[in-house]
Amino acid sequence: MTERENWIELEKQYFLPTSKRLPITLVRGEGTRVWDLDGREYLDFVAGIAAVSLGHCHPEVVGAIERQSRELMHTSNYYYTIPQVKLAKLLCDSSGLDKVFFCNSGAEAVEGLLKIARKWGKEKRDGAFEIIVAEDAFHGRTLATVTAAGNEKYRAPFTPLVEGFVRVPFNDVPAIKKATTGKTAAVLLEPLQGEGGVNVPDDDYLPQVRAWCDEAGILLLLDEVQTGVGRTGKLFAHQHYGIEPDAMAIAKALGGGFPIGAFLAKDHCAVLGPGEHGTTFGGNALACEVGHTVLKYMLGHDLPGQVAKKGEYFERKLHSLADRHPMVTEVRGKGLIWALELDRPVAEEMMGACSEEGLLVNNVKPTALRFIPPLTVSEEEIDGAIEIVDRVLARFEAGGPK
């Protein structure tokens, strides 16, 4: 029995079968590359689902972990710690929001937004509690966040669900207006839907939703867990549209691969008071020191600006693939989050074929492949990924993967 079979078998024996995994056991990473047990090298255009923002094992991230883990890792929120306060200030200063709460994941961050909406509605809008959400949205896997999500498959096994979510099509302002009633407390949206297929709304969508929320007197909550912290070529995706949310959730890229989440709110809706929210691990000194290091590095190196430039390069290359391959029907994305839409439901097979050629990508829909490399990816690495996808597409067009 080889080592690889061993780990895969053990996983099957002991781990809940919730993840559909590729038969690859990864043991090492550096920059945009990862290596498996057999020493095979892969270009990583999944990047831990958009989380490994500075590339694998970035020296600054490793340094922060080494430094802080020797000083102080975790204290609980009964006390002040310096990394937490430093990161809180940097996040508020760079986002224009006023108050922050730290947690450990994206779903927890969105839960925070939902609690803000509920309490704000109770206090400031006559008991309003409904939250308008979008079809094809993804907000995490807790009971409330799967209820908020667009995917019926994620919800159906867990009924009865959390009350008070109203679903409308994404990129449809009239639908939001029509769904707004005296019971509406907030609209919750991703600025660009990641897991739902990399769906980019029209340029005037968020500005119009913002204007409507102001007119109706309801909150605009943005889930920037995937789009935030540099991914789209701005520090936060809503900055493309010249608007600000009342509150937003972030996570993935903030930790550079280390788990951390946060939600931020403007003062007027920062309604959670003493004892109304809490966490044991959230905001621990180690995660906050890492988050602070990642954010400072991003701002100091204008990573969002670089992402915008590299994104244009990537976009051109993806369009040239689409020009050569009729199987590609659409290229969509922004910054360094892109999807290729295919004319047939073979994204999962293509993901497997790409991995065999040394490229990690993933299938966000049966017909769509997603690319979310580290924000530090180079043009040469983009070229490498494009070459592999080019070959794999040619094979599929020639009548099959083998």
Ligand X SMILES: *Cc1c(COP(=O)(O)O)cnc(C)c1O
Which of these ranges, 190-198, 199-207, 356-364, 384-392, lies near ligand X under the rule CB under 6 A?
Answer: 190-198
Query: Which one of 118, 139, 210, 238 is in contact with ligand X (CB under 6 A)?
Result: 139
Of residues 128, 13, 68, the one with CA closest to residue 290 = 68
Query: Which one of 111, 130, 223, 381 is in contact with ligand X (CB under 6 A)?
Result: 223
Select the residue whose beta carbon is closest to ligand X and give its number: 106
Site for ligand X contains 199 (CB under 6 A): no
- Least distance in Å: CB of 162 to ligand X? 16
Of residues 311, 374, 329, 296, the one with CA closest to residue 93 = 296
> Which residue lies nearer to ligand X by CB, 180 or 227?
227
Of residues 324, 314, 320, the one with CA closest to residue 45 = 314
| Number of C-beta neighbours around residue 291 at 10 A | 33
Which of these ranges, 76-84, 105-113, 350-358, 384-392, lies near ligand X under the rule CB under 6 A?
Answer: 105-113
Site for ligand X contains 138 (CB under 6 A): yes
> Catalytic residue among 223, 310, 334, 396, which?
223
Which of these ranges, 2-10, 101-109, 113-121, 293-301, lies near ligand X under the rule CB under 6 A?
Answer: 101-109
Contacts of 109 (CB under 8 A, 6+ apart): 103, 225, 249, 250, 251, 261, 262, 263
> Which residue lies nearer to ligand X by CB, 121 or 194?
194
> Catalytic residue among 45, 138, 165, 396, which?
138
Please give the biggest Cα pair distance in the chain. Answer: 66
Site for ligand X contains 362 (CB under 6 A): no
Strands (E), 203-327: 219-223, 247-250, 261-265
Site for ligand X contains 107 (CB under 6 A): yes
Number of amino acids touching ligand X (CB under 6 A): 15
Which of these ranges, 102-110, 266-274, 310-318, 330-338, lies near ligand X under the rule CB under 6 A?
Answer: 102-110
Question: Is 138 in the active site?
Answer: yes
Distance in angstroms (rounded) separating the CA atoms of residues 251 and 254: 6
Query: Which one of 47, 114, 248, 251 is in contact with ligand X (CB under 6 A)?
Result: 251
Site for ligand X contains 44 (CB under 6 A): no
| Number of C-beta neighbours around residue 56 at 10 A | 23
Question: Is 252 in the active site?
Answer: yes
Question: Is 204 in the active site?
Answer: no
> Catalytic residue among 234, 252, 310, 365, which?
252
Of residues 141, 398, 163, 391, the one with CA closest to residue 251 = 141
Query: Which one of 117, 168, 225, 237 is in contact with ligand X (CB under 6 A)?
Result: 225
Length of the chain in terms of residues written: 402
**Helix (H/G/I), strand (E/B), else coil: 287:** helix
> Which residue lies nearer to ligand X by CB, 226 or 362?
226
Pairing mode, if any, of strands 26-30 and 33-36? antiparallel
Site for ligand X contains 111 (CB under 6 A): no
Cβ proximity of 216 and 180 under 8 Å:
yes
Distance in angstroms (rounded) separating the CA atoms of residues 266 and 246: 5
Site for ligand X contains 136 (CB under 6 A): no
Q: Phi/psi zone of residue 126: left (φ > 0), alpha (ψ -120 to 50 degrees), beta? A: left
> Which residue lies nearer to ligand X by CB, 140 or 245?
140
> Which residue lies nearer to ligand X by CB, 136 or 223?
223
Site for ligand X contains 396 (CB under 6 A): no
Radius of gyration of the chain (CA): 21
Distance in angstroms (rounded) separating the CA atoms of residues 316 and 321: 9
Contacts of 227 (CB under 8 A, 6+ apart): 190, 191, 192, 194, 236, 237, 337
- For residue 160, cis peptide bond before it (omega within 30 degrees of 0): yes
**Helix (H/G/I), strand (E/B), else coil: 354:** helix
Site for ligand X contains 340 (CB under 6 A): no
Site for ligand X contains 103 (CB under 6 A): no
Site for ligand X contains 194 (CB under 6 A): yes
Site for ligand X contains 291 (CB under 6 A): no
Site for ligand X contains 106 (CB under 6 A): yes
> What are the residue numbers of the active site?
138, 223, 252
Q: Give the binding site for ligand X (CB under 6 A).
A: 105-107, 110, 138-140, 190, 194-195, 223, 225-226, 251-252
